[in-house]
Amino acid sequence: MATDLRVSLTDRCNLRCSYCMPAEGLDWLPDDQTLTDDEVVRLIDIAVRRLGVTEVRFTGGEPLVRRGLVDIVRRTHELGVETSLTTNALGLARTAVALREAGLDRINVSIDTVRPETFHEITRRDRLKDVIAGLEAAREAGLAPLKLNAVLLRGTNEDQASELLAWALERGYDLRFIEQMPLDAQHGWSRAEMVTADEIFEQLSADFTLTPHGQPRGSDPAELFDVDGGPGAVGIIASVTRPFCGDCDRVRLTADGQIRNCLFARDESDLRGAMRAGATDDELADRWVTAMLGKRTGHGIDDPSFLQPDRPMSAIGG
β-bridge partners, 83:
56
User: Which DSSP string corresponds to 50-100?
Assistant: HH---EEEEESS-GGG-TTHHHHHHHHHTTT-EEEEEE--TTHHHHHHHHH
236 binds, among ligand SF4, ligand SAM, none (CB under 5 to 8 A by kind): none
Residue 178 interface partner, choices ligand SF4, ligand SAM, none, CB cut-off 5-8 Å depending on type: ligand SAM
Q: Are 183 and 189 in contact, with CB atoms under 8 Å apart?
A: yes
Q: Which strands make up the sheet holding 4-8, listed edge to edge?
A: 210-212, 223-227, 233-237, 174-178, 147-151, 106-110, 82-87, 55-59, 4-8, 250-253, 258-260, 269-270
- Please choose which of ligand SF4, ligand SAM, none residue 315 contacts, taking the beta carbon within 5 to 8 angstroms, the exact cut-off set by kind: none
From ligand SF4, ligand SAM, none, which one binds at residue 232 (CB under 5 to 8 Å depending on kind)? none
Q: From the CB of 187, what's the least distance to ligand SF4, in Å?
A: 15
Residue from 26, 44, 60, 127 in contact with ligand SF4 (CB under 6 A): 60
Asked if residue 314 binds ligand SF4 (CB under 6 A), the reply is: yes
Q: Which does 284 bind (CB under 5 to 8 A by kind): ligand SAM, ligand SF4, none?
A: none
Q: Whose Cβ is closer to ligand SAM: residue 13's or residue 47's?
A: 13
Residue nearest to ligand SAM (CB): 318
62 binds ligand SF4 (CB under 6 A): yes
Site string for ligand SF4, 3-32 (x = CB under 6 A): ----------x-xxx--xx-----------
Query: Taking the complex as a whole, how short is the minimal distance between the CB of residue 138 and ligand SAM, in angstroms?
Result: 13
Q: Which does 64 bind (CB under 5 to 8 A by kind): ligand SF4, ligand SAM, none?
A: none
Nearest distance in Å: CB 33, ligand SF4: 18
| Rounded-to-integer distance, Cα 84 and Cα 105, Å | 6
Q: Does 110 bind ligand SF4 (CB under 6 A)?
A: yes
> Which position among 6, 29, 41, 61 is part of the footprint of ligand SF4 (CB under 6 A)?
61
User: In this complex, which beta carbon is closest to ligand SF4, that of residue 19 or of residue 225?
Assistant: 19
Q: Is residue 73 within 8 Å of residue 21, measured between CB atoms?
A: no
Based on CB atoms, which residue is closest to ligand SAM, 287 or 317? 317
Min. distance of Cβ 108 from ligand SF4 in angstroms? Answer: 11
User: Do 130 and 95 touch, CB atoms closer than 8 A?
Assistant: no
Q: Show the 3-state SS of 221-282.
A: CCEEEEECCCCCEEEEECCCCCCCHHHCCEEEECCCCEEECCCCCCCCEEHHHHHHCCCCHH
Angle between helices 197-205 and 161-171 (to 10 degrees): 70
Phi then psi for 202, rounded to 5 degrees? Answer: -65, -45
Phi-psi region of 180 (alpha: psi -120 to 50; beta: other; left: phi over 0): beta
Least Å distance between CB 293 and ligand SAM? 26
Q: Which does 180 bind (CB under 5 to 8 A by kind): ligand SAM, ligand SF4, none?
A: ligand SAM
Write the Ramachandran bin of 103: left for phi over 0, alpha for psi from -120 to 50, otherwise beta.
left
The site for ligand SF4 (CB under 6 A) is made up of 13, 15-17, 20-21, 60-62, 88, 110, 314
